[in-house]
């Protein structure tokens, strides 16, 4: 089982308004990923609204996922939490429920120092023997990893990978090359930000942590495979088919669009957790056009 490689598909986590997991709906989403043979499933990521779910709901989600996937692909579970003791407990819950690896962002309210973030990761990494990926998501955490911190974290034995955002400035190829010079050989670098991940894979990144992969796994997997093979022509052709969807992701947020796609495909009628509102009705015609460009026809 190869962790942190290829298409890591991040599904939404269907739940009731009070945060109770809709087990059948979640299993339905996961079975699509299993049938498509994505390289891994990223459960309870930002798309999975982990920050809006309590410990019991998150434990339930992991149990459902582990039973549904039945070991056929790695299950990577996000364990981010405000408190270190809470993140430790979530990591231990995930390990007991059948996770294969962990993913963690430095969630905070009071801005963290570099040393505070280091100690937080050190404690969670020691809580289980599962591999842990650093979740670098400044758009939600407002935390910036310094190079020295990343080097220190990469020296912790169970921390073996990082999920990077697309660079705010410059191009992803330069960003990847610069990061590669500081991190040890064998440390796995992947990216999120769906519209730039084909470029990241062509540049040498090993993982696409994908929102669209969690809801439309087949076209996302085709794009991943073309980019990992270094086929620039095919990658450009496939990425162009996604262009209308990338426009919607940037305009409305990929989370809202993922829920809308799930509704159109009849996978769930769950809504994003409040205060997040659904994608506006005015965007639905554009969504249907974007899906048609990918050969996806709602029922």
Cα 97 to Cα 61: distance, rounded to the nearest angstrom:
9
Q: Catalytic annotation on 121? A: no
Residue found by looking up tokens 């262009």 in the block: 243
**Secondary structure element (H or E) that encloses residue 134, with its range:** strand 132-135
**DSSP letter at 239?**
H
Q: Catalytic annotation on 163? A: yes
Sorted by where each begins, the domain ranges of the chain are: 6-229
Give the per-residue pLDDT at 297: 87
Residue found by looking up tokens 């308004």 in the block: 17
Q: Which of 122, 50, 31 is nearest to 93 (CA)?
A: 50
DSSP-derived secondary structure for 50-89: GGGS-HHHHHHHHHHHHHHHTTSS-EEEE---SSHHHHHH
Give the per-residue pLDDT at 2: 72
Catalytic, out of 34, 163, 209, 259: 163
* CATH match of 6-229 with 2.40.50.1020: no
Return the structure tokens found at 97: 């429920």
| Helix locations, 80-146, DSSP H | 84-97, 114-125, 138-141
Radius of gyration (C-alpha) of the chain in whole angstroms: 18
Tell whether residue 47 is among the known ligand binding residues.
yes
Catalytic, out of 34, 50, 121, 135: 135
Cross-strand bridge partners of residue 77:
43, 102
Q: What is the mean pLDDT of each run of 10 residues along the chain (299 residues)?
A: 89 98 98 98 98 98 98 98 98 98 97 98 98 96 97 98 95 96 96 97 98 98 98 98 98 98 98 98 98 91
Return the structure tokens found at 140: 């939600």
Return the structure tokens found at 177: 């090359």
Give the per-residue pLDDT at 62: 98
Cα 141 to Cα 253: distance, rounded to the nearest angstrom:
16
Contact (CB, 8 A) for 141 and 105: yes
Give the per-residue pLDDT at 1: 53
Give the per-residue pLDDT at 298: 86
Cα 136 to Cα 146: distance, rounded to the nearest angstrom:
11
Cross-strand bridge partners of residue 266:
none
Q: Which of 97, 74, 77 is nearest to 87 (CA)?
A: 77
């Amino acid at each position: 089982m190869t962790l942190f490689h290829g298409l890591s598909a991040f599904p939404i986590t269907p739940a009731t308004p009070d945060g109770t997991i809709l087990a059948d709906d979640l299993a339905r989403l996961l079975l699509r990923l299993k049938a498509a043979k994505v390289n891994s499933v990223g459960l309870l990521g930002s798309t999975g609204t982990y920050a809006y779910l309590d410990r019991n709901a998150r434990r339930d989600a992991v149990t459902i996922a582990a039973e549904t996937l039945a070991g056929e692909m790695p299950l990577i579970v996000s364990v981010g939490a405000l408190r270190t003791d809470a993140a430790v407990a979530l990591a231990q819950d995930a390990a007991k429920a059948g996770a294969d690896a962990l993913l963690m962002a430095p969630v905070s309210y009071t801005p963290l120092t570099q040393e505070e973030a280091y100690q937080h990761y050190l404690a969670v990494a020691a809580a289980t023997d599962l591999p842990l990926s650093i979740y670098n998501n400044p758009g939600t955490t407002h935390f910036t990893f310094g190079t020295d911190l990343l080097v220190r974290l990469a020296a912790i034995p169970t921390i073996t990978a990082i999920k990077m955002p697309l660079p705010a400035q410059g191009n992803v190829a330069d960003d990847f090359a610069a990061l590669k010079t500081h991190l040890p050989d064998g440390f796995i670098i992947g990216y999120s930000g769906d519209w730039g991940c084909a470029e990241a894979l062509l540049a040498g990144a090993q993982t696409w942590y994908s929102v669209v992969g969690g809801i439309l796994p087949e076209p996302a997997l085709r794009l991943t495979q073309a980019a990992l093979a270094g086929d620039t022509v095919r990658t450009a052709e496939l990425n162009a088919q996604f262009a209308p969807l990338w426009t919607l992701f940037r305009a409305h947020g990929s989370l809202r669009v993922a829920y809308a796609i799930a509704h159109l495909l009849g996978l769930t009628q769950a809504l994003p957790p409040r205060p997040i509102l659904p994608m506006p009705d005015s965007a639905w015609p554009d969504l249907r056009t974007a899906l048609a460009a990918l050969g996806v026809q709602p029922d």
